[in-house]
């Protein structure tokens, strides 16, 4: 399994990709992913379910759902990958749930809007479109709580971090919560994702900090503590290691772009 770190833990990340005859192995990331077959036939396996999508049919992959993309013969596609932070009200509501069926239909209006996404859109326009698309999915969706054993243990770890990153979410606390040995959990996470559990927690906290830096007037110090960092120094170090700039520079840089993406 491949853990796509480039589609994970970045608060305002949006990727739009179009092409043909895509085959991509089983992978996972902490973002929503809309896969649209614009011509031909594609097969998308999400967890234990395989969906066949034809012209203008779609699937919505939830954050941290295992999925694989196959093109048996020929197909064109459009894929939109976006951070859950951009639809925070939607993503928080279903944080511990997955849809029974990931397949849905978008009309030509929304598909055309997605295809025309570009860097000239304001953040409000972008969020408006993403919320609208999620709303279209939600109209007929049913959800179930995500439970299970080894494969879903990884999801439980992701969920544990999401619920506890502000306070304590060490491996020892994770072990107490799940009932598994902390050494086993550490090895499972590293093997499954390609990064350490500690690095993931730091990246998750950094992601949350990005959101607060852009959407609140809280001081950098307050945001550091709000996101679970024990000092401003550790926050600055982790933030710069992940994004290459300090939190203050990130805030100024985003403001200077007038909220465009």
What CATH number is given to the structural domain containing 236? 1.10.10.60
pLDDT at 39 over 50: yes
pLDDT-derived band at 119 (thresholds 50, 70, 90) equals low
Alpha-carbon distance of 37 to 73, in angstroms, equals 13
Where is pLDDT greater, at 14 or 42? 42
The pLDDT of residue 260: 44
72-81: average pLDDT: 93
Do residues 110 and 182 both lie within one domain?
no
Q: Please give the residue range of the domain that contains residue 240.
A: 150-256
Please report whether residue 261 resides in a domain: no
Query: Residue 217's Cα: distance from chain center in Å?
Result: 25
Cα separation, 63 vs 91, whole angstroms:
9
Domains in the chain: how many in total? 2
Domain boundary, last residue among 130, 145, 160: 145
Q: Pairing between strand 32-40 and 75-82?
A: antiparallel
pLDDT (0 to 100) of residue 50:
95
Per-residue CA distances from 120 to 10, 44, 125 (Å): 20, 31, 10
**Whether the predicted pLDDT of 78 surpasses 80:** yes
Cα torsion for 212, 213, 218, 224, to the nearest 10°?
80
Instruction: Find the mean pLDDT for residues 12-23.
Output: 87
What are the residues facing 52 on neighbouring strands?
Answer: 43
Is the pLDDT confidence value at 97 over 90?
no
| Residue range 97-112: mean pLDDT, rounded | 93
Q: 179 and 211: one domain?
A: yes
Q: Predicted confidence band at 52 (pLDDT cuts at 50, 70, 90)?
A: very high
How far apart are the C-alpha atoms of 236 and 15, rounded to whole Å?
26
- The H-or-E segment that residue 38 falls in is strand 32-40
On the question of pLDDT at 56 being above 90, the answer is no
> Which pLDDT band, with edges at 50, 70 and 90, does 9 fall under?
low
| Token pair in block for residue 102 | 């990931």
CATH of the domain at 99: 2.60.120.810
Are 56 and 31 contacting, i.e. CB atoms less than 8 angstroms apart? no
Q: What are the tens digits of pLDDT across the range 155-193? A: 788 888 888 999 889 999 999 988 999 999 999 888 877
Give the span between the Cα atoms of 11 and 207, in whole angstroms.
Answer: 5
Give exposure, 114-125, as e/b (b: 16+ Cβ within 10 Å). Answer: beebeeebebee
Question: From CA 118, how far away is CA 207, in angstroms rounded?
Answer: 23
Closest CA to 84 of 167, 28, 141, 7: 7
CB atoms within 10 A of CB 85: 22
User: Does any domain span residue 179?
Assistant: yes
Based on the domain organization, do 119 and 164 belong to the same domain?
A: no
- Pick the more confident residue, 254 or 199: 199
Tell whether the model's pLDDT for residue 224 goes beyond 60. yes
| Same domain membership, residue 247 and residue 156 | yes
Same domain, 34 and 47: yes
pLDDT of residue 115 exceeding 50, the answer is yes
Which band of pLDDT confidence, cut at 50, 70 and 90, is reported for residue 194? confident
Whether pLDDT at 249 is above 80: yes
Is residue 15 domain-shared with residue 89, that is, in the same domain? yes
Q: At 5, is the pLDDT very low, low, confident or very high (cuts 50, 70, 90)?
A: low
Say how far apart CA 203 and CA 169 lie, in whole Å.
13
Q: Is residue 26 located within the same domain as residue 114?
A: yes
């Amino acid at each position: 399994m491949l853990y796509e770190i480039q589609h994970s833990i970045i608060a305002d990340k949006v990727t739009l990709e179009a092409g043909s005859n895509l085959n991509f192995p089983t992978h996972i990331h902490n973002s929503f992913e809309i896969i649209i077959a614009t011509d031909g036939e594609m097969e998308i396996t999400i967890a234990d379910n395989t969906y066949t999508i034809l012209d203008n049919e779609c699937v919505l992959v939830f954050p941290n759902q295992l999925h694989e993309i196959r093109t048996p013969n020929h197909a064109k596609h459009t894929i939109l990958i976006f951070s859950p932070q951009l639809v925070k009200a939607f993503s928080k509501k279903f944080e511990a749930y997955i849809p029974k069926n990931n397949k849905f239909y978008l009309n030509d209006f929304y598909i055309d809007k997605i295809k025309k996404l570009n860097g000239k859109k304001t953040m409000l326009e972008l969020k408006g479109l993403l919320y609208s698309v999620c709303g279209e999915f939600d109209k007929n969706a049913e959800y179930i709580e995500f439970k299970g054993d080894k494969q879903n243990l990884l999801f439980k770890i992701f969920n544990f971090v999401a619920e506890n990153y502000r306070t304590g979410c060490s491996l020892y606390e994770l072990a107490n919560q799940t009932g598994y040995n902390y050494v086993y959990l550490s090895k499972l996470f590293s093997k499954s994702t390609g990064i350490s559990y500690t690095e993931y927690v730091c990246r998750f906290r950094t992601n949350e900090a990005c959101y607060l830096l852009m959407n609140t007037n809280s001081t950098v110090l307050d945001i550091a503590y709000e996101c679970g960092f024990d000092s401003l120094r550790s926050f600055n170090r982790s933030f710069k290691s992940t994004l290459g700039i300090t939190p203050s520079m990130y805030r100024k840089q985003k403001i200077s772009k007038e909220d465009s993406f």
